Amino acid sequence: MTAAPPAPNPTALVLEIDYLLGVAFAASGPEADQPDWPPQPPRVFSALVASWAARGQRPEETAALEWLEKQPTPRIVASGHIARSAPVRFVPPNDAESGRSGDKAVLPSLRSRQPRRFPATRPFDSKVSLHWPDAAPDDGTMAALKALAADTAYVGHSTSLTRCRFLREDGALPKTARWPSRTIYPGRLGELRRLYDAKQRPGSGNPFKPPAAPRAETAGIFADRWLLLEHVVSKTGGAEMPDLRAAALVAKKIHKTLLSGYDKSGLRDAIPEVVSGHQPDRRPSRAPHIAIVPMSFTGFPHADGHALGFAVIPPRGSGLLDDPDFLKALRMVAPMDEDSGRRLLHLDGLTFAPTFDPPENRRSLDPTLYTTAGTTFATVTPIVLDRHLKERGEARQIEIADQIAAACRNAGLPEPADVVPDKHSALEGAPSAYPSGNAPAWMRWKLPDALASRQLTHAVIRFPQEVRGPVLLGAGRFLGLGLCRPLDSKEERS
């Protein structure tokens, strides 16, 4: 009996786009101040249509575009990005027509100005690809698509210079592929032609709702909804944020302040264990409780590690941030400020504004940097090891890795596939776990007395499956130490 032939590998149609300048200029709408990243299928299709028009609207290319718009929604593979600020610029509109008698508006000094924004972003990887799984164009259609792509010099604004090509790829869809937020549809080519003839701006395409899919990932004990405490400078001034190395001491004071809110609201005897971190008999809680972590400018180019605020992270499934008693206690310690229209929490000269919504212009305060799923995580703040080290040399590194693996298990995470301890963080701007021998004392991490004698270490941790953050590890995890960020999150790279 002969064996069945192996199943053929699936074939996908792929459009590869390389941003030659490493910058993409594109906005999601005329008034948008944020860049549109990654490039959505309707934007890419419009770029192909522009090439089609410039090439003379050849019949075989018309048929190829009509074939493409009928295919199922493609997936996108794109890296993360750093948005550039988009201040308002006042620029002249299109040149005025002078007419027979002339028009003074064509003179540079007399031209009107209109407010415009030019959102741009710098992707971590200049290459983006759109994948149509199982799409199989015939040779003629493929040749036409390749010709259109070869003449597509930009996607988005004309300054977003690109090199594009269509190709066939064998194999499974890349793990980092994700659904777009907008899609093309049959008839889009004709719609673009009609709108162009009418001198009207086309819409951005149809919104796309991805099909529901089972989540094959593990989540730790902490929730992905956080209470942010954004550092603000009041009119009367106030202290600057302390160095990130003192974050554990500030976190402890914030925790104490939250507890005082229960006292002020008459709930001193009703503080839940999830907030206090202690059992009714005052012994340390064995159940998960809130963690208070620093939010710092780390992991970006030119990051310097300075703290921008803190976040209160409840245990997953606790519902703490919707608890009326907790919100009442928070209001007691963060009263409304009439001048700013925000609640403000004052702490030893520092002023924080509690909010559940991250500021749009401060990416470092966005919890999704920490709460998305990934397989490889790096520490922003060093891990406090649970036990004192006994070994030396290479055996010491193995001992540290074993303790970190145990910390992962204690946090409800899978056994790591690989742990690489190090003095330095893999994220730019994060301070080292300990200074060199001749460094001043202020370069050491400041720890509460109970942790002061423990060993600190940074690490890169790789899991055998996707893990959804936040990931907080080690003995200092409830005070913001051992805070990790995913290095390979497909959601962060959006």
Please tell me the predicted confidence (pLDDT) of residue 218.
81
Residue range 458-482, pLDDT digits in tens: 999 999 999 998 999 999 999 999 9
Q: How far apart are CA 37 and CA 369, in angstroms?
A: 16
Q: Average pLDDT of 292-311?
A: 94
What pLDDT band is residue 247 in, cutting at 50, 70 and 90? very high
Residue 157 pLDDT > 90, yes or no? no
Task: Indicate if the pLDDT at residue 1 is higher than 50.
Answer: no
Q: Who has greater pLDDT, 119 or 45?
A: 45
pTM: 0.57
- Name the E strands within 78-226: 81-84, 89-91, 114-116, 120-123, 127-133, 162-170, 182-183, 206-207, 217-219
Ordered domains of the chain (ranges, CATH): 11-92+106-207 (3.30.70), 227-486 (no CATH)
Residues 406-410 have a mean pLDDT of 92
For residue range 87-142, list pLDDT tens digits in order. Answer: 555 556 655 555 555 566 666 666 666 655 567 888 888 999 999 998 999 999 99
49-67 tens-digit pLDDT: 999 999 999 999 999 999 9
Q: Please state whether beta strands 456-468 and 383-384 pair in parallel, antiparallel, or not at all (unpaired).
A: antiparallel
Q: What is the mean pLDDT of the chain?
A: 86
Q: How many helices (H) and strands (E) does the chain have?
A: 9, 25
Q: How confident is the model at residue 3 (pLDDT cuts 50, 70, 90)?
A: very low
Non-local (6+) Cβ contacts of 392 within 8 A are none
Residue 108 carries which DSSP code? G
| Confidence at 285, pLDDT banded by 50, 70, 90 | confident
Token pair recorded at residue 388: 């004192």
What is the reported pLDDT for 97?
56
Cα 44 from Cα 78, distance rounded (Å):
14
For every residue of 301-363, DSSP letters joined together read TT----EEEEEEEPBTT--GGG-HHHHHHHHHHSPEETTTTEE-EEETTEEEEEESS--TT-G
Determine the pLDDT at residue 152.
Answer: 96
**Residue-level pLDDT at 270:** 87
Among 181, 145, 187, 195, CA closest to 166 = 145
Distance CA 324, CA 316 (A): 18
Q: Report the alpha-carbon distance of residue 246 to residue 476 in Å, rounded.
A: 13
Percent of the chain with pLDDT over 70: 86
- Cis preceding linkage at 59, omega within 30: no
pLDDT at 204: 79
What does the pLDDT look like over 411-453, one tens digit per residue? Answer: 889 999 999 999 999 999 999 999 887 888 888 999 999 999 9
Strand, coil or helix: what is 46?
Answer: helix
Under 8 Å between Cβ of 429 and 303? yes
